[in-house]
């Protein structure tokens, strides 16, 4: 992802999240030296994205979204497996994320990708006070 993609990424963000990130939040994450920002593109237009920050020895998945009209096509899974291909090139303890407890589709995907439940963050989401499920996927040492 590059700053030039942000207009289209923000359109997906606003349609995907009750409390969408601002443009400045995306710009800040894109400026990280140790982060990963990926977009899925179809016909020259972004159809999904994932934003990840490395925090010490852990990759923290901060934001994932797929355009509502393109959900169910495997785009989210493809973004995540590409993330693993890139992230696993470096030693790390794993990947972590929070997901709304009501987001059964995302939870199924994350479990299929090897994430496991590791607790609840009560009232994590500010828009409605919904709990977040904390999930972890164990890391793999980078290959020499």
Taking the domains of the chain in order of start, what are their residue ranges? Answer: 3-138
Among candidates 50, 47, 49, 51, which has minimal Cα distance to 68?
47
Give 25: exposed, middle or buried? Use CB within 10 Å, 0-12, 13-18, 19+. Answer: middle
This prediction's pTM? 0.91
In tens, the pLDDT along 9-62 reads 999 999 999 899 999 999 999 998 889 999 999 999 999 999 999 998 899 999
Catalytic machinery residues: 98, 110
Among candidates 85, 56, 53, 122, which has minimal Cα distance to 64?
53
In tens, the pLDDT along 78-115 reads 999 999 999 988 888 899 999 999 999 999 999 999 99
CATH 3.40.50.720 applies to domain 3-138: no
């Amino acid at each position: 992802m590059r700053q030039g993609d942000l207009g289209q990424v923000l359109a997906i963000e606003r349609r995907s999240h009750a409390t969408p990130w601002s443009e400045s939040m995306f710009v800040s994450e894109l400026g990280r030296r140790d982060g990963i920002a990926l977009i899925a593109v179809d016909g020259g237009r972004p159809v999904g994205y994932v934003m990840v920050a490395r925090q010490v020895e852990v990759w923290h998945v901060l934001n994932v979204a797929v355009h509502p009209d393109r959900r169910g096509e495997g785009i989210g899974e493809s973004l995540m497996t590409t993330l693993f291909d890139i992230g696993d090139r470096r030693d790390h303890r794993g990947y972590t994320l929070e997901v709304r407890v009501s987001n059964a589709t995302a939870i199924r995907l994350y479990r299929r990708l090897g994430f496991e439940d590791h607790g609840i963050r009560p009232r994590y989401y500010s828009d409605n006070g919904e709990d977040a499920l904390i999930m972890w996927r164990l890391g793999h040492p980078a290959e020499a």
